[in-house]
Structure 1
Amino acid sequence: MAEMTAGMHKIWPHVLQAVKNRRRFTWILLEQNTDVLFYDGTTLTLSATSQGVCDNIVASGSSAVLDEALAEVLSTRPAVELVVEGQTPFALPRSTPQSPATEVRVSVAVTTPETSGEATEPPTPALHLVLAQTAFLMHEQGNNQAAALLADVEDVELVPGNRFGDWQDAVLIVPPYLVPRFTEEVTAAIQPVFEHVAGRHSLEIGAVTAAPALPDIGDDWRQILQERLAKGAASNQASRTRARGVVPGLSREGFVFDSREEVLVYEALKRVQASLPEESTISVFPLPLGRVGVGNAWTPDFLVTVAGRVGIIEVDGPHHHRRFGADATRDRHWRNSGIVHIERILVEETSADTDLDALVRQFLTRLREYR
């Protein structure tokens, strides 16, 4: 049995990855709170950090997710036992191929009086209601940037706040291109409102973070990926369109934008571009995703090239004054990476086409004359 246990220790990370591909909540629960204890080929015994963790695994349906992952990695479905130090092992409920594991929800009377208050994952509709009410409250408080970001959240997942499962954190699942926009300042503004709304629904939330949505793939994922790799990586704009679709009024010529103001700036850049001679025109790249020298993946609103120089235009919202420090840091990294000029256009400056055209021309003049 020692040899089989050692083998299970080696493949356990692959089991956890298979779990993660199915359900992030279960992955965090198992990765942080369990470990392989024994494996004899028919029964897998896992050590757990507390009885509350065991209860959460069963009550949240995570045992069924683990069963599926084991079947994928091992091509068999061993029985699974959980052991908390000083307590009697108990077997996790089994799933069957006829009863898909991801749909199983089992509740057994294993909760002790001391841990009966352990939190389990609430129904998804309740979390979506918390999300919606938080977004509207942010809008009513004047934080339209946060409200707009929350409107793009695809799902909300709850994960243990610590290894003992004493509380839960909320993870906002968003399209990958939006993750960089959930800065520390944005999440710091969202968290107290989200926490307050959740509390009104009897949910205790410790922290709020954002995570990218997992790609929707099928059995032919290898072939699809190889075809994409052969053609070159998909553009950020393509991924944005697939991730959320085209919002009416926020797209132009295949480009997808985040706000009406960005569309207005794009139209101004086009007007200026059309007025320039062909031999000295400009190129415009809306919302490109790039890796900056410090290792961050950032998306400027517009990257513009002219006369062998590269500049950036950022369209700042009405609450952007709160981000002065973060913007200064980001701008410094842009310059260190070869971006010679960064122009920030306030939302209130985009109301008149003539004023906006003048701002764009001033930006191009400064970019051309940079030394």
Structure 2
Amino acid sequence: MTTDPWGSPQQPTGSESASFEDIINNPFIDTAAKFNAMADSALGHAVTLLHRRGEREVVELVLEVDKAIVEFDREYEEWTFWLEVSPEQYSCFTDVLVEKLRDTYREVCQRLQFHDFGLTIRETMPEVGPQWRDQLREQLTSPRRPTNQGRKVRLQPPKFREDYLAFTNQGEQTVYQALRQIQEKDLPRESTIGIYPLAGGRVPGRTWEPDFLVTYKGRAGVLEIDGPHHNGRRAMDATRDHLLMDAGVAFVDRIPVEAVDDPAELNAVLRRFLRRLGDAS
């Protein structure tokens, strides 16, 4: 936690990479943000412990989680930690595996002296627009086969689109534009890159949708955009990286979220990725 010259705590700026401890002890953030940091920290510790204990199946399931959020249940007047997963993954969270995760999560909360928010699994809520009836009818009757690009169900048109491709957020679209600049302007046409955003794919036991699959010099690499509070998930990331590389991905790299808004830094990160991908063996 940073302080001013008089020793009073200051709110971290967006350029700082805050740890869970920084967030939890930050007097400027609201209760919900603090509780979410506690819950995510406990989850990260729990899943890392399970990984060390050889519980690979549970670890892989948690890596499939679309969203983790603490919400206040007004009916029961308590906070609940929800792990949201896609419909196709929901059935994989069997009672045995969920209880194993809960037990370790409770153990971590007790050891870290965190509140146990009650870890629960639910399906991700679909995005629905005013024309949902027409869009569902079209999906039910359309002869077109679904593609693997942006596989998550969206019942309203994607907000971020370019070159007939969908993106989850502005950051992904910015990275795509930077990669396309390198593809079209900086590299020779006969030795350029292929860019595949949100390309759903299957590795043993898991279906994943990395932010970007990039091909270069006969090799395939994966690029992910890290969130601002990603430090607590590095062990899980390492497990995921190993699964991808075991399945033939030559190199996996991550873009710090701070670099997305800095064109020069983003360009440097992408060029480093391509250099390492080209040299990967």
Matching residue of 2:210:
300
Matching residue of 2:268:
358
Match of 2:195 among 284, 293, 297: 284
Flag structure 2 segments of 5+ consecutive residues without an equivalent.
Answer: 1-29, 41-62, 81-117, 127-131
Q: Secondary structure at the match of 2:64?
A: helix
How big is each residue's C-alpha offset from its partner over 1:268-291, in whole Å with a ceiling of 9 and x where there is no partner? 101111121110011000011111
How big is each residue's C-alpha offset from its partner over 1:91-118, in whole Å with a ceiling of 9 and x where there is no partner? xxxxxxxxxxxxxxxxxxxxxxxxxxxx
TM-score, scaled relative to structure 2: 0.56
| Larger relative contact order (Cα-Cα within 8 Å, sequence gap ≥ 6) | 2
- Structure whose residues are more often helix by fraction: 1
2:165 alignment partner AA: F
Q: Secondary structure at the match of 2:155?
A: helix
Match of 1:235 among 143, 148, 168: 148
1:234 alignment partner AA: T
Q: Secondary structure at the match of 1:283?
A: strand
1:209 alignment partner AA: I
How big is each residue's C-alpha offset from its partner over 1:7-38, in whole Å with a ceiling of 9 and x where there is no partner? xxxxxxxxxxxxxxxxxxxxxxxxxxxxxxxx
Match of 1:336 among 246, 254, 258: 246
Q: Partners of 1:329 and 1:304 in 2: how far apart?
A: 20
Contact 2:199 2:212 in 1 (8 A): yes
Q: Partners of 1:302 and 1:138 in 2: how far apart?
A: 31
2:148 alignment partner AA: S
Q: Partners of 2:250 and 2:139 in 1: how far apart?
A: 44
Aligned: 1:347 with 2:252: no
Aligned: 1:260 with 2:195: no
Superposed displacement of residue 235, structure 1:
2.9
TM-score, scaled relative to structure 1: 0.43
Q: Partners of 1:282 and 1:245 in 2: how far apart?
A: 28
Matching residue of 1:180:
64
Matching residue of 2:158:
246
How big is each residue's C-alpha offset from its partner over 1:178-236, in whole Å with a ceiling of 9 and x where there is no partner? x9343xxx53xx2xx32xx10x3336766532325699866994xx37x34xxx44233
Distance 1:142 1:270, change over 3 A: farther
Contact 1:251 1:257 in 2 (8 A): yes
Q: Partners of 2:164 and 2:35 in 1: how far apart?
A: 33
Matching residue of 2:75:
201
Distance 1:260 1:138, change over 3 A: farther
Flag structure 1 segments of 5+ consecutive residues without an equivalent.
Answer: 1-135, 147-178
Higher CA-based Rg = 1
Distance 1:329 1:139, change over 3 A: same
How big is each residue's C-alpha offset from its partner over 1:98-144, in whole Å with a ceiling of 9 and x where there is no partner? xxxxxxxxxxxxxxxxxxxxxxxxxxxxxxxxxxxxxx96457686x
Contact 2:165 2:197 in 1 (8 A): yes
Matching residue of 2:129:
none
Matching residue of 1:323:
233
Matching residue of 1:78:
none
Q: Partners of 1:353 and 1:265 in 2: how far apart?
A: 9
1:277 alignment partner AA: P
Contact 1:286 1:301 in 2 (8 A): yes
Matching residue of 2:23:
none
Q: Secondary structure at the match of 2:249?
A: coil
Matching residue of 1:85:
none
How big is each residue's C-alpha offset from its partner over 1:24-81, in whole Å with a ceiling of 9 and x where there is no partner? xxxxxxxxxxxxxxxxxxxxxxxxxxxxxxxxxxxxxxxxxxxxxxxxxxxxxxxxxx
1:123-138 equivalences under 5 Å are: 138=32
Tell me the C-alpha RMSD between the 2 structures: 3.2
Q: Partners of 1:220 and 1:285 in 2: how far apart?
A: 24
Question: 255-264 or 324-333, which moves further after superposition?
Answer: 255-264
Counting matched residue pairs gives 182
1:243 alignment partner AA: L
Distance 1:246 1:137, change over 3 A: farther
1:136-147 equivalences under 5 Å are: 138=32
Distance 1:138 1:290, change over 3 A: farther
Contact 2:216 2:274 in 1 (8 A): yes
2:220 alignment partner AA: V
Contact 1:240 1:256 in 2 (8 A): no
Q: Partners of 1:325 and 1:340 in 2: how far apart?
A: 19
Match of 1:269 among 163, 167, 179: 179
Superposed displacement of residue 353, structure 1:
0.9
Distance 1:219 1:273, change over 3 A: closer
Q: Secondary structure at the match of 2:158?
A: coil
Q: Partners of 1:220 and 1:262 in 2: how far apart?
A: 26
